């Protein structure tokens, strides 16, 4: 299990662990907190923000009991789809949490860890992972660095959080969600002029909000 900062710096690499139905992300995290693995309680402070995925939901209370602010994507809870606010909240989490997947990707760039590890190597796998993570921290640049645009992008995302999706509003207004679709053959040359021509900066600043 990797614990990384918002820059992608690997703070801790704990494991490996047996993974099955009862030994999932949440139970592993609870075990780490209970045993204070790697002295985790010494470098976690009250009110620290911990961003996790949905697999950690069963250990949220354990983390909150330590005074941590836990953020994770919402659940459908029986609904067919998310509300606009809930869908955007999930995107907010992804916007922060993607560095975890990027850090995992860096580890898998090492040939030994990119493929199936032989059983004979399992007793030493923890040491191998620690060495790899140390090499990454020492010699690879940060995955994400702060910029003057961060606050601007964050403010823009917050301002758009509750904005209703225009396409969904169009479907509801014209009662198109309940009608069957009728497909027509079209020629791409007839509609190309309808697509806007945008620069890379316009896409990043106005559409993907900082992510290419």
pLDDT tens profile 132-147: 999 999 999 999 888 8
Question: What Å distances lie between residue 92 and 21, 114, 165, 167, CA to CA?
Answer: 28, 29, 16, 20
Same domain, 75 and 162: no
Residue 190 in domain: yes
Q: What is the mean pLDDT of residues 148-170?
A: 82
End-to-end CA distance of the chain: 27
In a domain, 52, yes or no: yes
Residue that has been written with the tokens 């976690």 in this structure = 44
| Residue 105 located in a structural domain | yes
pLDDT at 212: 63
Q: What mean pLDDT do residues 6-23 have?
A: 88
Position 124 scores a pLDDT of 94
Structure tokens at 53: 């995925």
User: Which residues neighbour 137 within 8 Å (Cβ) at sequence distance 6 or greater?
Assistant: 9, 10
Average pLDDT over residues 180-185: 79
Residue 83: per-residue pLDDT: 82
Number of domains in the chain: 2
Co-location of 113 and 42 in the same domain: yes
Q: What is the pLDDT of residue 167?
A: 79
- The C-alpha atoms of residue 56 and residue 45 are separated, in whole angstroms, by 19
Q: Judge if 165 and 85 occupy the same domain.
A: no
Q: Which residues contact 207 (CB under 8 A, 6 or more apart)?
A: 198
Q: Per-residue pLDDT tens for 83-135? A: 888 888 898 898 889 999 999 999 999 999 998 999 999 999 999 999 999 99
Q: What percent of the chain has pLDDT over 70?
A: 99
141-162: buried (b, 16+ CB within 10 Å) or exposed (e) per residue?
eebbeeeeeeeebeeeeeeeee
Is-cis flag, bond preceding 129, omega within 30?
Answer: no
Question: Residue 212: inside a domain, yes or no?
Answer: no
- Domain hosting residue 46, numbered range: 2-139
Distance CA 96, CA 28 (A): 22
pLDDT in tens, 29-81: 999 999 999 999 888 899 999 999 999 999 999 999 999 999 999 998 888 88
Crossing angle for the helix pair 125-139 and 84-107, to the nearest 10 degrees? 100
152: left (phi over 0), alpha (psi -120 to 50) or beta: alpha
pLDDT attached to residue 23: 84
Out of 121-135, 175-189, 196-210, least confident range:
175-189
With 80 as the cut, is the pLDDT of residue 82 above it?
yes
C-alpha to C-alpha distance for 84 and 163, rounded to whole angstroms: 7
State both tokens at 149.
Answer: 């645009």
């Amino acid at each position: 299990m990797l614990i990384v900062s918002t820059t992608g710096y690997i703070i801790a690499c704990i494991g490996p662990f047996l993974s099955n139905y009862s030994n999932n992300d949440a139970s592993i995290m609870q075990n780490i907190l209970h045993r204070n693995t790697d002295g985790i309680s010494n470098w976690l402070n009250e009110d620290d923000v911990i961003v996790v995925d949905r697999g950690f939901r069963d250990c949220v209370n354990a983390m909150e009991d330590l005074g941590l602010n836990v953020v994770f994507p919402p659940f459908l809870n029986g609904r067919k789809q998310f509300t606009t606010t809930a869908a955007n909240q999930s995107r907010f989490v992804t916007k922060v949490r993607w560095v975890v997947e990027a850090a995992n990707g860096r580890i898998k760039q090492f040939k030994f860890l990119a493929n199936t590890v032989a059983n004979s190597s399992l007793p030493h796998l923890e040491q191998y992972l620690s060495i790899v993570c140390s090499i990454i921290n020492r010699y690879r640049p940060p995955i994400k660095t702060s910029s003057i645009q961060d606050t601007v992008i964050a403010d823009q995302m917050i301002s758009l959080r509750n904005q209703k999706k225009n396409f969904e509003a169009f479907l509801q207004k014209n009662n198109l969600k309940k009608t069957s679709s009728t497909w027509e053959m079209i020629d791409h040359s007839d509609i190309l002029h309808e697509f806007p021509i945008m620069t890379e900066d316009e896409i990043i600043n106005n559409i993907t909000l900082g992510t290419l």
